Amino acid sequence: MCRKTRSTDEVLVPATQPEPARIIPGPNVTEGHIGEPAELPCNAMGWPRPTVTWWRDTTMLPLSSRRYEQLSSYALLIRSVVYEDAGEYSCHAHNGIGSGAIFKVTLIIDLQPEPLPPAGGEEPDFNSRDSEPVVPKPFEFVPLETRVSLVTNDPTAGAPLQIDCSVKGPSEAVEVTWRHQNQVIEESDRKRLLSNHTLFITKAEVADSGEYRCNAEYENSFSISAIHIAVKGEILFPNSLVVGGPASSIKLLSHGELSCAVIGRVSTMPLIRK
Protein backbone atom coordinates (compact mmCIF):
# COMPACT_ATOMS: atom_id res chain seq x y z
CA MET A 1 0.00 0.00 0.00
CA CYS A 2 1.47 3.39 -1.02
CA ARG A 3 0.77 6.59 0.99
CA LYS A 4 0.70 10.04 -0.56
CA THR A 5 0.97 12.85 1.99
CA ARG A 6 -0.36 16.34 1.51
CA SER A 7 -0.42 19.33 3.84
CA THR A 8 -4.09 18.82 4.80
CA ASP A 9 -4.99 15.24 4.04
CA GLU A 10 -3.66 11.79 3.21
CA VAL A 11 -4.59 9.63 0.23
CA LEU A 12 -4.13 5.87 0.29
CA VAL A 13 -3.36 4.40 -3.14
CA PRO A 14 -3.82 0.63 -3.54
CA ALA A 15 -0.71 -1.29 -4.55
CA THR A 16 -0.70 -2.38 -8.18
CA GLN A 17 2.56 -4.29 -8.26
CA PRO A 18 2.17 -8.08 -8.03
CA GLU A 19 3.15 -9.46 -4.64
CA PRO A 20 3.51 -13.19 -3.92
CA ALA A 21 1.15 -14.69 -1.36
CA ARG A 22 2.49 -14.68 2.19
CA ILE A 23 1.12 -15.34 5.66
CA ILE A 24 1.99 -13.09 8.58
CA PRO A 25 2.97 -15.33 11.50
CA GLY A 26 0.59 -15.32 14.44
CA PRO A 27 -0.30 -17.62 17.33
CA ASN A 28 0.29 -21.19 16.21
CA VAL A 29 -1.62 -22.75 19.11
CA THR A 30 -5.36 -22.26 19.65
CA GLU A 31 -7.32 -23.55 22.63
CA GLY A 32 -10.78 -25.03 22.08
CA HIS A 33 -13.58 -26.19 24.37
CA ILE A 34 -15.92 -29.12 23.73
CA GLY A 35 -19.20 -27.95 22.22
CA GLU A 36 -18.01 -24.37 21.63
CA PRO A 37 -16.76 -22.67 18.42
CA ALA A 38 -13.04 -22.29 17.76
CA GLU A 39 -11.27 -19.99 15.30
CA LEU A 40 -7.87 -20.78 13.75
CA PRO A 41 -6.11 -17.67 12.35
CA CYS A 42 -4.53 -17.29 8.91
CA ASN A 43 -3.25 -13.78 8.13
CA ALA A 44 -2.78 -14.22 4.37
CA MET A 45 -1.72 -11.32 2.11
CA GLY A 46 -0.62 -10.73 -1.47
CA TRP A 47 -1.64 -9.15 -4.77
CA PRO A 48 -3.70 -10.42 -6.47
CA ARG A 49 -5.56 -11.52 -3.34
CA PRO A 50 -4.56 -15.10 -2.57
CA THR A 51 -6.78 -18.16 -2.65
CA VAL A 52 -6.71 -19.84 0.76
CA THR A 53 -7.47 -23.46 1.58
CA TRP A 54 -7.37 -25.23 4.95
CA TRP A 55 -5.99 -28.75 5.28
CA ARG A 56 -5.84 -31.40 7.95
CA ASP A 57 -3.11 -33.89 7.16
CA THR A 58 -3.64 -34.61 3.43
CA THR A 59 -7.36 -33.74 3.32
CA MET A 60 -8.67 -30.34 2.23
CA LEU A 61 -11.48 -29.02 4.42
CA PRO A 62 -14.67 -27.64 2.82
CA LEU A 63 -15.05 -23.86 2.51
CA SER A 64 -18.45 -24.01 4.19
CA SER A 65 -20.33 -26.89 5.78
CA ARG A 66 -22.18 -27.83 8.94
CA ARG A 67 -18.87 -28.12 10.82
CA TYR A 68 -16.48 -25.72 9.09
CA GLU A 69 -16.51 -22.26 7.54
CA GLN A 70 -13.71 -20.14 6.10
CA LEU A 71 -14.24 -16.55 7.23
CA SER A 72 -13.53 -13.42 5.17
CA SER A 73 -10.32 -13.00 7.18
CA TYR A 74 -9.22 -16.46 5.91
CA ALA A 75 -9.54 -17.86 9.46
CA LEU A 76 -11.05 -21.34 9.86
CA LEU A 77 -14.13 -21.49 12.06
CA ILE A 78 -14.98 -24.82 13.70
CA ARG A 79 -18.62 -24.37 14.62
CA SER A 80 -18.73 -26.83 17.52
CA VAL A 81 -15.52 -28.45 18.76
CA VAL A 82 -15.47 -32.20 19.33
CA TYR A 83 -12.76 -34.32 20.92
CA GLU A 84 -11.38 -35.51 17.56
CA ASP A 85 -10.79 -31.92 16.34
CA ALA A 86 -7.58 -31.70 18.38
CA GLY A 87 -4.45 -31.69 16.23
CA GLU A 88 -2.55 -29.78 13.57
CA TYR A 89 -4.15 -27.78 10.75
CA SER A 90 -2.41 -25.98 7.87
CA CYS A 91 -3.43 -22.85 5.96
CA HIS A 92 -2.27 -22.73 2.31
CA ALA A 93 -2.24 -19.42 0.39
CA HIS A 94 -1.58 -19.10 -3.38
CA ASN A 95 -2.09 -16.31 -5.92
CA GLY A 96 -0.19 -17.64 -8.95
CA ILE A 97 3.04 -15.80 -8.04
CA GLY A 98 5.81 -17.82 -6.47
CA SER A 99 5.32 -21.08 -4.62
CA GLY A 100 2.72 -19.86 -2.12
CA ALA A 101 2.79 -19.90 1.68
CA ILE A 102 1.84 -22.33 4.45
CA PHE A 103 1.06 -21.64 8.10
CA LYS A 104 0.39 -24.38 10.65
CA VAL A 105 -1.88 -24.08 13.69
CA THR A 106 -2.40 -26.65 16.45
CA LEU A 107 -5.78 -26.93 18.18
CA ILE A 108 -5.66 -28.20 21.75
CA ILE A 109 -8.76 -29.22 23.67
CA ASP A 110 -9.23 -27.88 27.20
CA LEU A 111 -10.80 -30.70 29.21
CA GLN A 112 -10.64 -28.93 32.61
CA PRO A 113 -14.22 -28.24 33.75
CA GLU A 114 -15.15 -24.81 35.06
CA PRO A 115 -15.72 -24.98 38.86
CA LEU A 116 -19.21 -23.99 40.03
CA PRO A 117 -19.41 -21.07 42.47
CA PRO A 118 -20.00 -22.24 46.07
CA ALA A 119 -23.32 -21.61 47.76
CA GLY A 120 -23.40 -18.80 50.33
CA GLY A 121 -20.28 -17.09 48.99
CA GLU A 122 -17.85 -19.52 50.67
CA GLU A 123 -14.50 -20.24 49.13
CA PRO A 124 -14.45 -23.50 47.14
CA ASP A 125 -12.62 -26.39 48.72
CA PHE A 126 -10.87 -28.50 46.07
CA ASN A 127 -8.94 -31.64 46.76
CA SER A 128 -6.72 -33.53 44.35
CA ARG A 129 -9.60 -35.68 43.15
CA ASP A 130 -11.79 -32.65 42.39
CA SER A 131 -9.09 -31.03 40.27
CA GLU A 132 -8.65 -33.98 37.95
CA PRO A 133 -9.86 -33.21 34.43
CA VAL A 134 -13.00 -34.91 33.24
CA VAL A 135 -12.30 -36.51 29.88
CA PRO A 136 -15.46 -36.84 27.79
CA LYS A 137 -16.12 -40.05 25.98
CA PRO A 138 -14.77 -39.70 22.41
CA PHE A 139 -17.34 -39.48 19.65
CA GLU A 140 -17.70 -42.62 17.62
CA PHE A 141 -15.86 -42.22 14.33
CA VAL A 142 -18.01 -43.28 11.39
CA PRO A 143 -15.93 -43.84 8.23
CA LEU A 144 -17.24 -42.51 4.93
CA GLU A 145 -16.31 -43.61 1.43
CA THR A 146 -17.33 -41.91 -1.82
CA ARG A 147 -16.93 -43.16 -5.37
CA VAL A 148 -17.71 -41.08 -8.49
CA SER A 149 -18.53 -42.71 -11.84
CA LEU A 150 -19.57 -41.36 -15.25
CA VAL A 151 -22.75 -43.06 -16.44
CA THR A 152 -23.07 -41.25 -19.78
CA ASN A 153 -20.93 -42.70 -22.55
CA ASP A 154 -19.18 -40.15 -24.79
CA PRO A 155 -20.58 -36.91 -23.24
CA THR A 156 -21.74 -34.61 -26.05
CA ALA A 157 -23.14 -31.08 -26.08
CA GLY A 158 -26.93 -31.09 -26.30
CA ALA A 159 -27.31 -34.57 -24.79
CA PRO A 160 -28.03 -35.57 -21.16
CA LEU A 161 -25.10 -36.08 -18.79
CA GLN A 162 -25.25 -38.27 -15.67
CA ILE A 163 -22.59 -38.62 -12.95
CA ASP A 164 -23.19 -40.96 -10.02
CA CYS A 165 -21.75 -40.64 -6.52
CA SER A 166 -22.06 -43.73 -4.34
CA VAL A 167 -21.62 -43.09 -0.61
CA LYS A 168 -20.76 -45.85 1.86
CA GLY A 169 -21.39 -45.01 5.50
CA PRO A 170 -24.40 -43.99 7.61
CA SER A 171 -27.73 -44.41 5.84
CA GLU A 172 -29.08 -41.10 7.14
CA ALA A 173 -27.95 -37.53 7.87
CA VAL A 174 -25.09 -37.62 5.34
CA GLU A 175 -24.63 -34.22 3.68
CA VAL A 176 -23.53 -34.50 0.04
CA THR A 177 -22.50 -31.54 -2.13
CA TRP A 178 -21.24 -31.37 -5.72
CA ARG A 179 -18.58 -28.99 -7.04
CA HIS A 180 -17.61 -28.15 -10.63
CA GLN A 181 -14.19 -26.53 -10.98
CA ASN A 182 -14.27 -25.92 -7.20
CA GLN A 183 -17.62 -24.08 -7.44
CA VAL A 184 -20.63 -25.43 -5.55
CA ILE A 185 -23.30 -26.72 -7.96
CA GLU A 186 -26.74 -25.29 -7.26
CA GLU A 187 -29.82 -27.13 -8.49
CA SER A 188 -31.54 -25.55 -11.52
CA ASP A 189 -33.78 -26.46 -14.46
CA ARG A 190 -30.73 -27.84 -16.28
CA LYS A 191 -28.86 -29.38 -13.35
CA ARG A 192 -30.66 -31.78 -11.02
CA LEU A 193 -29.34 -33.26 -7.75
CA LEU A 194 -31.18 -36.52 -7.16
CA SER A 195 -31.92 -38.16 -3.80
CA ASN A 196 -29.36 -40.92 -4.47
CA HIS A 197 -26.61 -38.23 -4.83
CA THR A 198 -26.61 -38.45 -8.65
CA LEU A 199 -25.86 -35.30 -10.64
CA PHE A 200 -28.04 -35.17 -13.78
CA ILE A 201 -27.60 -32.47 -16.45
CA THR A 202 -30.55 -32.46 -18.85
CA LYS A 203 -28.67 -30.78 -21.71
CA ALA A 204 -24.87 -30.73 -21.51
CA GLU A 205 -22.73 -27.89 -22.80
CA VAL A 206 -19.04 -27.71 -23.70
CA ALA A 207 -18.63 -25.38 -20.70
CA ASP A 208 -19.65 -28.31 -18.48
CA SER A 209 -16.23 -29.88 -19.09
CA GLY A 210 -13.81 -29.99 -16.17
CA GLU A 211 -13.41 -31.55 -12.74
CA TYR A 212 -16.40 -32.68 -10.71
CA ARG A 213 -16.09 -33.46 -7.00
CA CYS A 214 -18.56 -35.24 -4.75
CA ASN A 215 -18.16 -34.22 -1.07
CA ALA A 216 -19.81 -36.32 1.65
CA GLU A 217 -19.83 -35.26 5.29
CA TYR A 218 -21.23 -36.81 8.46
CA GLU A 219 -20.49 -35.34 11.90
CA ASN A 220 -16.72 -35.67 12.33
CA SER A 221 -15.88 -37.56 9.12
CA PHE A 222 -15.93 -36.72 5.42
CA SER A 223 -14.84 -38.07 2.03
CA ILE A 224 -14.14 -36.48 -1.36
CA SER A 225 -13.98 -38.13 -4.80
CA ALA A 226 -13.32 -36.43 -8.13
CA ILE A 227 -13.57 -37.13 -11.86
CA HIS A 228 -12.58 -35.13 -14.96
CA ILE A 229 -15.06 -34.98 -17.83
CA ALA A 230 -14.68 -33.61 -21.37
CA VAL A 231 -17.90 -32.68 -23.20
CA LYS A 232 -17.58 -32.82 -26.99
CA GLY A 233 -19.29 -30.18 -29.08
CA GLU A 234 -21.09 -30.26 -32.45
CA ILE A 235 -19.82 -28.47 -35.58
CA LEU A 236 -22.64 -26.76 -37.50
CA PHE A 237 -22.07 -25.16 -40.92
CA PRO A 238 -24.20 -24.39 -44.05
CA ASN A 239 -24.11 -26.89 -46.93
CA SER A 240 -23.89 -25.05 -50.29
CA LEU A 241 -24.63 -28.22 -52.29
CA VAL A 242 -28.20 -28.65 -51.04
CA VAL A 243 -31.48 -26.95 -51.90
CA GLY A 244 -33.52 -25.23 -49.20
CA GLY A 245 -30.54 -24.28 -46.99
CA PRO A 246 -30.33 -27.29 -44.66
CA ALA A 247 -27.59 -27.61 -42.05
CA SER A 248 -25.10 -30.40 -41.44
CA SER A 249 -24.02 -31.63 -38.02
CA ILE A 250 -20.72 -33.49 -37.64
CA LYS A 251 -19.83 -35.45 -34.50
CA LEU A 252 -16.56 -37.09 -33.57
CA LEU A 253 -17.40 -40.53 -32.22
CA SER A 254 -15.47 -42.18 -29.40
CA HIS A 255 -13.83 -44.72 -31.74
CA GLY A 256 -12.48 -42.01 -34.07
CA GLU A 257 -15.14 -42.02 -36.83
CA LEU A 258 -17.08 -38.97 -38.03
CA SER A 259 -20.89 -38.97 -38.07
CA CYS A 260 -22.65 -36.53 -40.47
CA ALA A 261 -26.39 -35.74 -40.14
CA VAL A 262 -28.12 -33.53 -42.76
CA ILE A 263 -31.44 -31.85 -42.00
CA GLY A 264 -33.49 -30.61 -45.01
CA ARG A 265 -34.00 -31.46 -48.70
CA VAL A 266 -30.79 -32.27 -50.58
CA SER A 267 -30.05 -32.18 -54.32
CA THR A 268 -26.80 -34.14 -54.12
CA MET A 269 -24.91 -36.31 -51.67
CA PRO A 270 -23.05 -34.27 -49.02
CA LEU A 271 -19.26 -34.40 -49.07
CA ILE A 272 -16.93 -34.40 -46.11
CA ARG A 273 -13.52 -32.96 -46.86
CA LYS A 274 -10.54 -32.93 -44.57
- Quick one: average pLDDT of 39-45? 94
Buried b / exposed e across 242-251, counting CB within 10 Å, b at 16+? beeeeebeeb
Q: Which of 214, 229, 244 is the last residue of a domain?
A: 229
Q: How many domains does one find in the chain?
A: 2
Whether residue 270 lies inside any domain: the answer is: no
Nearest Cα neighbor of 89 from 143, 144, 29, 141 is 29
CB 151 within 8 A of CB 229: no
CB 11 within 8 A of CB 88: no
3-state DSSP of 141-200: CCCCEEEEEECCCCCECCCCEEEEEEEECCCCCCEEEEEECCEECCCCCCEEECCCCCEE
Residues 24 and 104 in one domain: yes
User: What local confidence, expressed as pLDDT, does residue 237 receive?
Assistant: 47
User: What local confidence, expressed as pLDDT, does residue 85 receive?
Assistant: 92
pTM over 0.75: no
Nearest Cα neighbor of 18 from 102, 117, 95 is 95
* 110 vs 50, higher pLDDT: 50
Angle at 233 between CA 180 and CA 274, to 5 degrees: 145
Q: How far apart are CA 190 and CA 181, in angstroms?
A: 17
* 117 vs 169, higher pLDDT: 169
User: What local confidence, expressed as pLDDT, does residue 76 receive?
Assistant: 96
* 37 vs 240, higher pLDDT: 37
CATH code of 217's domain: 2.60.40.10
Phi, psi dihedrals of residue 24, rounded to the nearest 5°: -70, 125
Task: Decide: helix, strand or coil at residue 208.
Answer: helix
Dump pLDDT digits (tens) for 133-164.
Answer: 545 445 455 577 888 999 998 999 999 999 99
User: What local confidence, expressed as pLDDT, does residue 5 receive?
Assistant: 46
Whether residue 139 lies inside any domain: the answer is: no
The share of the chain scoring above pLDDT 70, in percent, equals 66
User: What local confidence, expressed as pLDDT, does residue 1 receive?
Assistant: 47
Whether residue 222 lies inside any domain: the answer is: yes
Domain that holds residue 174: 145-229
Dump pLDDT digits (tens) for 217-272.
Answer: 876 667 888 899 999 986 554 444 444 455 555 555 545 566 666 655 555 555 55
Residues 96 and 173 in one domain: no
